[in-house]
């Protein structure tokens, strides 16, 4: 699944179903955290492992204390020291890590690097304070803003100091300066491809040299500071 397929389904999805999330208390989290500190080997594995599935393969005895779903919820809750009641804590963990790694300013760019981790939650509906919440709602909650998504019909969106534009053959998002992107119609945006020697091109035009630039850039996809 590429970014556009993901975003399209993030907006319109008739296959969503309600998903229940194990209820845990702060006391449950504290007890689980203490268990993780019960031996040096368990603690080391816990601290260095991001996937609960990998952890439980090494320490399957945890499932004798907690059922698998509850153990997974506690695993990520203890790492985060935070829960978004009604929403899987692994999802919260993935989104939190995504924004801490790639920032909040250019959400489509961040999403393009995280699709495989977020896609499993596309069909879920969560109940938060008696309201239905989707993956899009959770993303926007942590982005702290309503997100403008790149889609199959919208290949370019304004994003703070630049525009985000989807590059189909690379399945990446490029950050284009306003003076370049504002002059590109949707049809030209959809023609952008990535060339390993030239960088981003539209047919025979090198994007980083548009609008009189020399084309000097440190990043093939982030052209905001291109000279």
| Rounded percentage of the chain residues whose pLDDT exceeds 70 | 100
Name the H helices within the chain: 3-11, 26-36, 40-48, 52-58, 68-80, 89-102, 107-112, 115-118, 135-143, 178-181, 186-189
What is the per-residue pLDDT for 139?
98
Q: How do strand 162-167 and strand 172-177 relate by DSSP bridges? A: antiparallel
Q: How would DSSP label each residue in 130-191?
A: TEEE-HHHHHHHHHTS------SS--EEEETTEEEEEETTTTEEEEEEHHHHTT--HHHHTT
What is the per-residue pLDDT for 178?
95
Q: How confident is the model at residue 64 (pLDDT cuts 50, 70, 90)?
A: very high
Across 115-142, average pLDDT: 97
**pTM for the structure as a whole:** 0.92
Across 63-85, average pLDDT: 94
What is the per-residue pLDDT for 82?
86
* pLDDT tens column, 184-206: 999 999 999 999 999 999 998 99
């Amino acid at each position: 699944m590429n970014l556009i397929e993901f975003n399209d389904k993030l907006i319109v999805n008739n296959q969503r179903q309600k998903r229940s999330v194990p209820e845990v208390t702060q006391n449950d989290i504290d007890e689980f955290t203490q268990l993780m500190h019960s031996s040096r080997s368990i603690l080391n594995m816990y601290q260095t492992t991001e996937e609960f599935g990998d952890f439980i393969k090494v320490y399957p005895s945890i499932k004798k204390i907690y059922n698998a779903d509850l153990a997974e919820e506690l695993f990520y809750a203890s790492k985060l020291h935070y829960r978004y009641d009604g929403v899987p804590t692994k999802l919260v963990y993935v989104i939190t890590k995504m924004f801490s790694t790639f920032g909040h300013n250019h959400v489509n760019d961040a999403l393009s690097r995280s699709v495989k981790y977020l896609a499993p939650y596309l069909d879920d509906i969560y109940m938060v304070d008696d309201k239905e919440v989707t993956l899009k709602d959770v993303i926007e909650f942590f982005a702290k803003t309503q997100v403008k998504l790149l889609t199959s019909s919208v290949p370019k969106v304004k994003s703070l100091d630049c525009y985000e534009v989807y590059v189909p053959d690379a399945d990446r998002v490029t950050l284009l300066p306003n003076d370049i992107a504002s002059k590109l119609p949707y049809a030209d945006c959809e023609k952008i491809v990535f060339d390993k020697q030239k960088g981003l091109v539209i047919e025979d035009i090198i994007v980083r040299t548009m609008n009189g630039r020399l084309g000097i850039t440190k990043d093939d996809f982030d052209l905001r500071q291109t000279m």
